[in-house]
Amino acid sequence: MNDNDKQQDPGNGGGNPWMRSLMIWVGILLALALFVTMFGGERAGQTGNSIPYSTFLDRVEEGQVRQVNVSPTTITGELTNSERFRTNTPNDPQLIQRLRERGVVINARPEEGPNIWMVLLYQSLPFLLFLGIAFFVLRQMQKGGGGGGAMGFGKSRAKLLTQKEGKVTFDDVAGIDEAREELEEVVEFLKDPTKFARLGGKIPKGALLVGSPGTGKTLLARAIAGEAGVPFFTISGSDFVEMFVGVGASRVRDMFEQAKKSAPCIVFIDEIDAVGRHRGAGLGNGNDEREQTLNQLLVEMDGFEANEGIIIVAATNRPDVLDPALLRPGRFDRQVVVPRPDIEGRIKILEVHMKKVPLAPDVDARVIARGTPGFSGADLANLVNEAALMAARKSKRLVAMQEFEEAKDKVMMGAERRSMVMTDDEKRMTAYHEAGHAIVSIHEPASDPIHKATIIPRGRALGMVMRLPERDSYSYHRDKMYANLAVAMGGRVAEELIFGYDKVSSGASGDIQYATGLARDMITKWGMSDKVGPVEYAQPEGESFLGYSSAQPRHMSNETAQLIDAEIRATVEGGLARARQLLTDHIDQLHTLAGALLEYETLSGDEIKRLIAGEELERPDPGSGLKPVASAGTSIPKTRRPKGPFGSPQPA
């Protein structure tokens, strides 16, 4: 059914809604005009100026009254100057005699009873007017078919998606090839079901998209809508939930009724965890609104009456809270994981978004992709947008690699705070702190290469050292963890070596927090302590919903807890000792790098290597903080925020 058919279909409301509303308002205005006209006609019959009865008697005595019309309630008449008048009739027995003595023409009129039809009309017209307005308001509240009116609580709020503009296809989805292939098969089944039916294959009832926020679940659903060529209904899980019991179940039934009329079709439920949470974990008994809605959804998806040709595609980033009955085969036959993209996926995503941006020749999507591990599709789209905004702010016609580097730093670390005033002592301590991290990182073989070091404040950080993994890593080895501990302690050790024990600042609080957390995970989660052994002692991290937890805490004795604390301290102090040894052995390099940071404020990884090798740096404007040409690599910050309580570097 196309859009023109929908507009002409009487089942969709019949006629033009605007004309129907106009006709209702015209009818109301005509009724008001009739009401005013009827009362105006009654008043028109009572012509003449109203005068007091005493004035009327004076005019009679003066001979100014030509004729009168006497009725039981009023007296109307005409003066000698042809002026009309009227007055009320009192109980005056001498009035007729006075009029005869003055030669006034007297016309007697009997009292006319009210017209019964007019009385009925007068009394019923306000009631009819009220009914008309009420009927109009109720119709307006029920219009639209979305259940938004007072009388439409049970109507489904699913919208039939039409993409005349901004149509999304699978060509716009990149970086999640496995998930795309799973859904491409669903679309192919809808286009040619006989291809699969020949071998006894049945169309899947549902597909659940699972992934972190921003990974492209909704984009995949829009691509299905653009590729399938069948009706596509979209609704949010929260649209089923209301304060009235039974409303959500009614909306589920109505949604499937609409889908049956358009089968084969696809129904997309976004954030299904709003309605599909584990039953029995809520407050009260099992008859609450959310559980009734979930029960109805389970029945409609795979109940006694099969709904053929309706495919449910749902998305959530909380699969752990979903009811097991919702995930069984026959309901959501496929659970499609939409992961964060790897480096090749990030390159493809960047290329999709870069098509809309005029790029300079020096822009390399691979360099940017290597510098953004862990970024989701939404993060990369935001990165490209920030780079375009920065280029526009500088009145450039093309977006260059410099803008992408600045945008990446802004997204990951916050905007530069060049207006922040730091004393020379604070800048000097920050420079040595960051130089300490960098020197330890350079001389630790298992550490990631340095990408950038800066003492320009960004966000909450007063300075930062960024290290770059050479490739995406999915597991980490013991030697790299010990190297990370040494690098984290390098800033504190540098402060102590240069400024003395009493001058150590609070800038290493974040580093200590990171090192302690890493050491705790090594001992309690990953079994990397010979004294504690390969036993898991960490507190559970399972999701908890109103007291329900998917994991139970492991109880330990006081002796074991003391042993774990001692091992954590020994592990962190081992990193501290390793950093002290490296910085003591390379104290000259520490002074050289700290001096360069004070002069240039920002150094790239290549420039740091040249300084350590004794080479000279060439900068056109040493004090400008000019961005160096970025080296190829990724840019996950391993040691950052040397000042303040929020300086914890992020673990790999």
Half-sphere exposure of 28 (CA within 13 A, CB side): 16
Residues 141 and 329: their CA atoms lie apart, in Å, by 40
Q: Is 76 annotated as a binding residue?
A: no
**Burial (CB count within 10 angstroms: exposed 0-12, middle 13-18, buried 19+), residue 468:** buried
Q: Is 217 annotated as a binding residue?
A: yes
Q: Is 454 annotated as a binding residue?
A: no
Q: Give the β-pairing of 206-210 and 334-337.
A: parallel
Print the SS3 string covering 95-149: HHHHHHHCCCEEEECCCCCCCHHHHHHHHHHHHHHHHHHHHHHHHHHHCCCCCCC
Neighbouring residues of 77: CB distance < 8 A, sequence distance ≥ 6: 48, 65, 66, 67, 68, 69, 84, 85, 86, 104
Q: Is 74 annotated as a binding residue?
A: no
Q: Is 213 annotated as a binding residue?
A: yes
Strand order in the sheet with 265-270: 159-160, 232-236, 265-270, 310-316, 206-210, 334-337
506-509 contacts: CB < 8 A, separation 24 or more?
A: 506/643, 506/644, 506/645, 507/429, 507/430, 507/433, 507/462, 507/642, 507/643, 507/644, 507/647, 508/433, 508/642, 508/647, 509/644, 509/645, 509/647
Question: Which member of 289, 405, 434, 495 is catalytic?
Answer: 434
User: What's the full length of the chain, in residues?
Assistant: 652
Q: Specify the residue for token string 């979930």.
A: 294
Contact between residue 180 and residue 211 where contact means Cβ atoms under 8 Å apart: no
Q: Is 614 annotated as a binding residue?
A: no
Q: Give the β-pairing of 265-270 and 232-236.
A: parallel
Contact between residue 313 and residue 224 where contact means Cβ atoms under 8 Å apart: yes
Q: Is 573 a catalytic residue?
A: no
Q: Is 286 annotated as a binding residue?
A: no
Residues 558 and 570: their CA atoms lie apart, in Å, by 18
How far, CA to CA in Å, does 171 sit from each of 174, 268, 282, 295?
A: 7, 20, 42, 37
Residues 524 and 533: their CA atoms lie apart, in Å, by 9
Longest distance between any two alpha carbons in the chain, whole Å? 141
**Local structure of 195: helix, strand or coil:** helix
**Local structure of 161: helix, strand or coil:** coil
Q: Is 437 annotated as a binding residue?
A: yes
Half-sphere exposure of 182 (CA within 13 A, CB side): 19
Strand order in the sheet with 105-108: 49-50, 84-88, 74-79, 65-70, 105-108
How far, CA to CA in Å, does 264 sit from each of 203, 259, 270, 308, 461?
A: 11, 8, 20, 8, 55
Residues 145 and 157: their CA atoms lie apart, in Å, by 7
Q: Is 637 annotated as a binding residue?
A: no
Residues 304 and 212: their CA atoms lie apart, in Å, by 34
Contact between residue 380 and residue 353 where contact means Cβ atoms under 8 Å apart: yes
Nearest to 521 by CA among 370, 651, 340, 648: 651
DSSP string, 622-647: GGGTPPPPPPSS--EEEEE--SSTT-
For CA atoms 583, 370, 596, 414, the dihedral sign is: negative
User: What residues does 458 pair with on adjacent strands?
Assistant: 416, 461
Residues annotated in a binding site for ATP: 211-218
Catalytic site residues? Answer: 434
Residues annotated in a binding site for Zn(2+): 433, 437, 511
Residues annotated in a binding site: 211-218, 433, 437, 511
